[in-house]
Amino acid sequence: MCADPADSLLAGLAQPDCGPIVGVLGDGTPYFAPLGQVVADGAQVTCHLCGKTFRSVAAHLASHGWTKAQYCEAFGLERTQSLEGADTRKLRAAAFGARLVFEPALREGSANGRHRAVSGQLTRQAADAARGRLFPEQRRQRQRAAVSAAARAQLAQANRDRASQHLAAVAEAAATRAGYADIGQLVTGMASAGHSLAAISRACGLDKDWLQRHLPQLDPVVAATASRRGHDRLDARWLAPLTTMGFSDVAGYLRQRHLVEHMSVNAIAAEVGLSFHAVKSALARHGLAVTAHAGKRYAAERRASEVAADLGADSITEFIERSRARGWTWQQMAAASGQPQTWLRRHATKAAGSPPGE
């Protein structure tokens, strides 16, 4: 009776006084506990066949007409797996200890077992019996769970090393085909001739972004040089309009216009005669953060500062808190500041992080 995936039509069903059906065996027998697992709740163990709990499922199996060997094989359990609750196992162990003292047959059998274990006979017989038999699901689950964090880290490192070796092999093959000693010389030579990294990648039969992604790992020095050359090439079309405005480099111009003067990306694009995306790309290339609606945000902040100064406060938030302490309403605050109630409420919301109360 080999196990198949759970039948989707039965997975959500339940029998009276039982849990939901977990899956169905190959012969159509439904089961109520996961394969390879013994579900125990304190002293009670769940029967895979009916979903009910018992102190000893082994003693209950006769009601289903099953033996323990059949049960363990069908549900992927070790043959030596106990099917009893912890309390029952303790009681059985205590009873067996007493019998071992008073019953000669048990003492003889126990001594024989110890002798077979010490001599290695028991191990050999167990290996012979297991030869050719698949591991039960329970053992496979335990093996997977036994993989330690250190072993997983070693596996991950081995995978990274293998990926690095593959990357180096691809780079070496590309350089050899092009007649260069290594990938660094290939990129340096072709970049000096005016080729971009994308063009070099295509010429080598690789994805156009391959060198952009992997060159920093393969040759960091050449990658940094190629990146600077790429920046210079992209910045070249900016120099003509910037020179007429008195700027000598793109980074300085963008920093002045966007971060100091708070010009928007669209306004900068219109001034230099380039596209919105060209300006946004240049900001990212030079490590400058893009501020959405820069002009409007700056104007709004300046307006708030001017209103607060006229009211004798360091900020609008301070004015609102001071007014609330006096018991003022939003209407009174609006009249005193000369600003709409909605404008004041937005500042209060921004400061508090939640809608202001009435």
pLDDT digits (tens, 9 = 90+) for 24-64: 998 889 999 999 999 988 789 999 999 999 999 999 999 99
pLDDT value of residue 169:
94
Band (pLDDT 50/70/90 cuts) for residue 355 is very low
Structure tokens at 218: 């393969």
Domain ranges across the chain: 1-143, 150-229, 248-292, 295-352
Question: In whole angstroms, what is the distance from residue 263 CA to residue 272 CA?
Answer: 12
pLDDT value of residue 1:
41
pLDDT-above-90 percentage for the chain = 24
Question: In whole angstroms, what is the distance from residue 172 CA to residue 30 CA?
Answer: 58
Band (pLDDT 50/70/90 cuts) for residue 17 is low
Give residue-wise pLDDT tens across range 191-238. 888 888 889 999 999 998 999 899 999 999 988 888 777 777 778 888
Give residue-wise pLDDT tens across range 63-91. 999 999 999 989 999 888 889 988 888 88
Structure pTM?
0.37
pLDDT value of residue 186:
92
Q: Which long-range contacts (CB under 8 A, 24 or more apart) does 20-25 make?
A: 21/51, 25/1, 25/74
Contacts of residue 334, defined as CB under 8 A and 6 or more positions apart, other chains included, come to 340, 341, 344
* Dihedral in degrees, nearest 10, Cα atoms 233, 234, 237, 242: -110
pLDDT value of residue 284:
85
pLDDT-above-70 percentage for the chain = 90
Give residue-wise pLDDT tens across range 155-180. 889 999 999 999 999 999 999 999 99
